Chain A
Amino acid sequence: MSDTVILPVETVVPKAGSAAARMAGNPSVVTGLILVGAVVAIALLAPLLAPHDPYAQDLMRRLVPPIWHDKGIWSNPLGTDNLGRDYLSRILYGARISLLIGLSVMVISGLIGTALGLAAGYFGGRTDLVISFFITARLAMPVVLVALAVVAMIGGSLPVVILTLGLLKWDRFAVVMRSATQQVRSLDYVTAAEAAGASRLRILLGEVLPNVFPHLIVVATVEAGSAILLEAALSFLGLGVQPPLPSWGLMIAEAKNFMFFSFWLIAIPGTALALLVLGINLLGDGLRDVFAPDERA
Chain B
Amino acid sequence: MLLYTLKRLGLALLVATFVSIVAFMLLRLSGDAAIAIAGEGARDEDIELVRQTYGLDRPLIVQYADWLLTTLSGDFGQSLYFKTDVTGLIADKLPVTFYIGSFSLLFALALSVPLGVLAAVYAGSWIDRAALAIAVAGQALPNFFFALVLIMLFSITLRWLPVSGSDTWAHFVMPTIALGYYVTPPMMRLVRAGMIEVLSSDYIRTARAKGLSPASVIFKHGLRNAVVPVVALAAVQLGYLLGGSIVIETIFALDGLGYLAYQSITHKDFPVTQAVLLLLSLIYVLLTLVSDLLNAFLDPRMRVA
Contacts and interface: CB of A to CB of B under 8 A. Distances in A.
Interface string B179-197: 0000000000110010000
Nearest to B244: A144
B266 A152 contact: yes
Nearest to A279: B140
Interface string A236-266: 1111000000000100100010011001001
Q: Which bracket fits the contact residues of B?
A: 35 or more
Given A148-B262, A153-B30, A297-B190, A2 B19 contact: no
23 contacts: A133-B11, A133-B18, A140-B288, A144-B247, A145-B280, A146-B26, A148-B246, A148-B265, A149-B30, A152-B265, A152-B266, A152-B268, A233-B142, A233-B144, A237-B262, A259-B151, A259-B152, A260-B156, A270-B142, A274-B140, A277-B142, A278-B140, A280-B140
B305 interface: yes
Contacts of B239: 139-140, 142
Interface in B145-196: 145, 148-149, 151-152, 156, 189-190, 193
Contact of A142 (B31, B236, B246): B246
Interface of A: 1-3, 133, 136-137, 139-146, 148-150, 152-154, 225, 229, 232-233, 236-239, 249, 252, 256, 259-260, 263, 266-267, 270, 273-275, 277-278, 280-282, 285, 296-297
Contacts of A275: 140
B295 A2 contact: yes
B141 interface: yes
B143 interface: yes
Q: Which of A2, A140, A275 has the most CB of B within 10 A?
A: A140
A136 B305 contact: no
A33 B280 CA distance: 38
A151 to B, nearest CB: 9
Nearest to B36: A153
B292 interface: yes
B284 A140 contact: yes
B291 A2 contact: yes
Interface string B286-298: 0010011001000
A152 B269 CA distance: 11
Nearest to B136: A281
B243 A142 contact: yes
Contacts of B27: 149, 153
B273 A149 contact: yes
Contacts of A140: 15, 19, 239, 281, 284-285, 288
B5 interface: no
A65 to B, nearest CB: 16
Contacts of A252: 144-145, 148
B225 interface: no
Contact of B15 (A136, A144, A278, A282): A136
Contact of A297 (B193, B250, B277, B285): B193
B242 A142 contact: yes
A176 to B, nearest CB: 14
B142 A274 contact: yes
B214 to A, nearest CB: 24
Nearest to A3: B236
Given A148-B265, A149-B265, A142 B281 contact: yes
Contacts of B140: 225, 274-275, 277-278, 280-281
Q: Which of B142, B193, B246 has the most CB of A within 10 A?
A: B142
B145 A141 contact: no
Contacts of A139: 239, 284, 288
B78 interface: no
Contacts of A148: 246, 261-262, 265
Given A145-B280, A152-B266, A260-B156, A273 B142 contact: yes
B280 to A, nearest CB: 5
* The 5 residue pairs across chains A and B that have the minimum distance between CB atoms: A142-B243, A270-B145, A278-B140, A153-B30, A277-B140
Q: Which of A2, A146, A256 has the most CB of B within 10 A?
A: A2
Contacts of B137: 274, 278
B139 interface: yes
A270 B235 contact: no
Contacts of A149: 26-27, 30, 265, 273, 277
A141 to B, nearest CB: 5
